[in-house]
Structure 1
Amino acid sequence: MKIEMKSLRKLRVHWPIAVESFSRLAKGDADAFKDDSGLVALLQAVSESPALGDFGNYRHVFESGLGFEGFTCTEGANPTLGQVGQRTISPTLVFTTYFDAALDDAAVEGILQCIVDIHPWEVPVIELTGPISVSNTALPAVFESEAAS
């Protein structure tokens, strides 16, 4: 079977999570996604946007990683966490999903606005790439040959 590549754009959102959620996820407890209200809202937004995470027979595809965000709020900020003039370190889930690179600008703007609207930060960190090529085909012949080995 031939490898099929699809032109997609990557959407990555840095999402603050509670220390308890961070700890549970770090231990492999995927139920933390159901128990953290912020993550529930993020996953709900993805599931309500058919364009996000569409890989043919698989929908709402995403990847996540754990890390930390660091920042210092300056005068004029209205922080959800931290105080003006102090460095703050926040446990963070880095959420990545993809959408078709041909999606029109208005639809992309709508997706981004939805995420900004539900994000707990005053200034959320949201990354959006230009088109990239991503594999969109399973390789059964490869798996069969590995199984025969």
Structure 2
Amino acid sequence: MYERKRRKPVSEINVVPYIDVMLVLLIIFMVTAPLITQGVKVELPKASAEALSEDSKPPMVASVNAEGEYFLNVGNSQDTPMSAEDLAVLVAKQLQQEPDTPVVVKGDGRVPYNEVVQLMVLLQRAGVPSVGLMTDSSEQ
């Protein structure tokens, strides 16, 4: 009758489905990674707030008043309001001269939270690695 041919067992793994799954996961991670990393980096204190040490450099203080005007304690015009672009240029220039200068944000208590966040984003774009928040002591 008919003679059956014996087939040898195939010992190969088909990796095509694994490659397809890997490529789909790669695309998902590439799309979601930028969405996860949005925001302003702020180093939150791990304990109660402490004042800057006496031997540290004097900080650069970027301020926003109740009217939303920006100020910086660097240069001759510390009491005159400046635009956001001028503030960013001045901060970047100061950080080029002294890169380890601490930067502190001083916001009026009546300023909307959005104004303070916009100032922090502005400082981040100017190259400030970390920003501190200035507060008054609660004890009076």
Q: Normalised by the shorter chain, which TM-score bucket?
A: under 0.3
Choose 1 or 2 for highest CA Rg: 2
Instruction: Report which of the two has the higher share of strand.
Output: 1
Higher relative contact order (Cα pairs below 8 Å, separated by 6+ residues): 1
TM-score (norm 2): 0.28
